[in-house]
Amino acid sequence: MGLKDAEYERIVDILGRHPNLAELGMFAVLWSEHCGYKHSKLALRRLPTGGWRVVQGPGENAGIVDIGGGWAVCWKAESHNHPSAIEPFQGAATGVGGIVRDILAMGARPVAVLDSLRFGDPAEPRVRYLISGVVGGIAAYGNCIGVPTVGGELACDDSYRDNCLVNVMCVGVARRDRLARGVAAGPGNPVLLAGNRTGRDGIHGCTFASEELGERSQERRPAVQVGDPFIEKLLIEACLEALGTGAVVGLNDLGAAGLTSACAETAARAGTGMDIDLDRVKRREPGMSPYEVMISESQERMLLIVERGREAEVTAVFDRWGLEWAEIGRVTDDGVLRVREGGSLAAEVPVAALTRDVPVYDPVVEEPPYLRRAWRAPLPGDFAQGELPGAANRALTAILASPEGCAKDWIFSQYDHMVQVNTVVTPGADAAVLRVKELGPAGLAVTTDGNGRLCYLDPRRGAALAVAEAARNVSCLGAEPLGITNCLNFGNPEKPHVSWQFAAAVDGMAAACRALDVPVTGGNVSFYNETEGAAGRRVHPTPVIGLVGLVADVTRCPKAGFQAPGDVVGLIGPDGAGGGAGDGAGDGDGLGGSLYLYAAHGLVAGRPAAVDFDLERRVQDATRELARSGILASCHDCSEGGLLAAIAECCLLAAPGAGGAEVEVPAGGRVDGALYGELPSRVVVSAAAGDWPRVEAACAARGVPVRRLGRVAPGRIVARRAGGTQALVDVATGELRAAWAGALESLMGGARQ
């Protein structure tokens, strides 16, 4: 059950007696790390959660932000890491189902799904099996329920070999006057359970997620839920219609901890209690005990609190959609959760004991000893004059052929990203863009971003860089960042080095969110992403940011790729000329933790560059202004792979005839740093020659550096030093396209689930 001896003694003190098996199971699931946030709650309080647009912050099923016109956007991200590591298809599929129901519980219609995936080396057969199963599970569930999967990210690193990370975000929209909450308000109101029947799948799923993986983890396969997306689709429509009657007081998903969580948390939010009769709970399997029924995580179930006397209005909706339902209990006024079966009391626990009284730990933190060594680690030698352009060409090819840098068509082609016909900018751009039909030309830009290498080398800087990149991605499409959700993936928090990484990452995230005025509306912490034992492997600390932005006019979003030969290619933001003396290897020129070091040299070393938050904000302000104005022909964030990788992607995503460029990179410093260093706050843009002075003027007005790099010239990518004649990079775009477009399918051997 995952409870410590001291926690058990605390339960005995609270109850004044020893708990029975059902009660112990209820405490075990709600006091698990996955549900109780025992080791993270104190640190998470440092995150900024308020803002003038924020309607609902952390504490509910999902966060909500006002987008004007009487409408709101709702979004949340969740992890399904351990389930996906032992049963990839169902683990990922039910991760989608669960996060979709979190959005539904707020009264919002789910309109988009995004993912963020981390695996080991695809050269290993088991890793390919995991990737294929996870992508297949996300595709199957999302496609069947009619919610488009519009974007995401993929990274592969040996640290994720045993613990893949499967993070999924769902976005929904709702009318402000139709929002719902997960509250069991109104003593005497009936409690309905609707959707799928309850089975033995998913029992102790949340306690399984709160422990390290080990040799016997495969025995926990029954802890992985089994999904039915067709029932979920019916449940979405029925719940939205039921909310429309006005008779639903509260709505909550049955996710982690199942019926226990749904009953206790809704009662806790309302300050009430609940009386449940398990004889009324419809079951898939005979002989289930109260313990099993209360903690089962069977999917596609929702708990509804209905206004007394109006039950028939709600149940008629579920009958019409062909869904089973049962009235399983009543709201009470005494703050106690009572569970009955066969006329006897099976459990009796104060709601506050399950929710408010969860133990909170302030873990010991200690900086990992590897950190300073990694900062000072020697970097590979710079490109020698006689090696150019061949060596730099090969490095660019390696970056674009890596799982992070390559085209993700093998994944995105399995997702239906056009269902609901709201997708304006499809997967593969800096962010996806969705129209909100009720708001005329306005819409939403959505993205997920994270970088485990950077956080491994400096969790504070790495988390700040992730927030900045996510906000910059939507700014490249002219969108105003509204807020973030997060998935914080770390190892065992009871180990001081992991707790230090977590605390530092939260501080970096908090600093970036405050500086960029981007509130945190909710999130998820996934600890214990490591294998047990002295020789165990833990994942890189990997905070994933899910950000939503508001687009004023979805028809005016600039493209990521170059559009016309002869257009000026430019860089908004610092050019990195001369590198600079940072306090770690590669700090000043952006080589620390770069994709170049990893893809071309197999190194995770150096120190990531720090974000200048004031400059980042001004760069994003200027970028949004230009993107909205229609001046820019293209606009693309410069991040993984550095300046030359961003320019190459602009060429690979270009309009016909515009797939190449001749540019000059800044003089001074290392050549590989100028080409592939990952300095923050940079955006590659293009514009017609006659419009370029307006780009310079807009940047000057905000005190933002801007540099004319060269021009769009089809066929090849050629880069030289400013003022020089030697080609540093000279490669045919078609040669890069062959490596970039087919890399993932080649790595996967074409396999699909």
Which residues are the active-site residues? 34, 80
Q: Which residues contact 592 (CB under 8 A, 6 or more apart)?
A: 375, 457, 582, 584, 585, 586, 605, 606, 607, 608, 609
The rounded radius of gyration (Å) of the Cα atoms in the chain is 26
Give the distance, in angstroms, between the CA of residue 598 and the centroid of all CA atoms in the same chain.
23
Tokens standing for residue 419: 């269902």
- Residue 430's closest CA among 447, 418, 442? 447
Distance CA 390, CA 405 (A): 20
CA pair distance 513, 517, nearest whole angstrom:
6
HEC string for 722-742: CCCCCEEEEEEHHHHHHHHHH
Structure tokens at 259: 């019926």
Q: For residues 300 and 407, what is the distance between their CA atoms, to the nearest angstrom?
A: 34
Q: Contact 642/596 with Cβ under 8 angstroms?
A: yes
Task: Provide the residue type at 741 as one letter.
Answer: A
Task: Select from 453, 579, 459, 576 the least CA-distant residue to 512.
Answer: 459
Using CA of residue 333, residue 339, residue 341, residue 347, what is the dihedral sign? negative
CA distances in angstroms from 77 to 227, 456, 486, listed in the order given: 18, 22, 6
Beta carbons within 8 Å of 70's beta carbon, 6+ residues apart: 175, 176, 177
Nearest alpha-carbon partner for 418 in 431, 407, 434: 434
Q: Is 57 helix (H, G, I), strand (E, B) or coil?
A: coil
Residues in the chain: 753
Burial class of residue 498 in the structure, from the number of CB atoms within 10 Å of its CB (0-12 exposed, 13-18 middle, 19+ buried) = buried
Q: Which of 429, 395, 390 is nearest to 558 (CA)?
A: 429
DSSP symbol at 279: G
Q: Which residue has the tokens 């910059």?
A: 472
- DSSP character for 645? H
Asked if residues 568 and 663 have their Cβ atoms less than 8 Å apart, the reply is: no
Residue 305, C-beta contacts closer than 8 angstroms, at least 6 positions apart: 183, 184, 185, 186, 189, 190, 191, 192, 248, 249, 250, 251, 266, 331
In degrees rounded to 5, what are phi and psi of residue 436?
A: -115, 100
CB 465 within 8 A of CB 513: no
Q: Coil, helix or strand for 581?
A: coil
Which residue's structure tokens are 């987008």?
67
Q: Is the dihedral of CA 555, 560, 565, 569 positive or negative?
A: positive
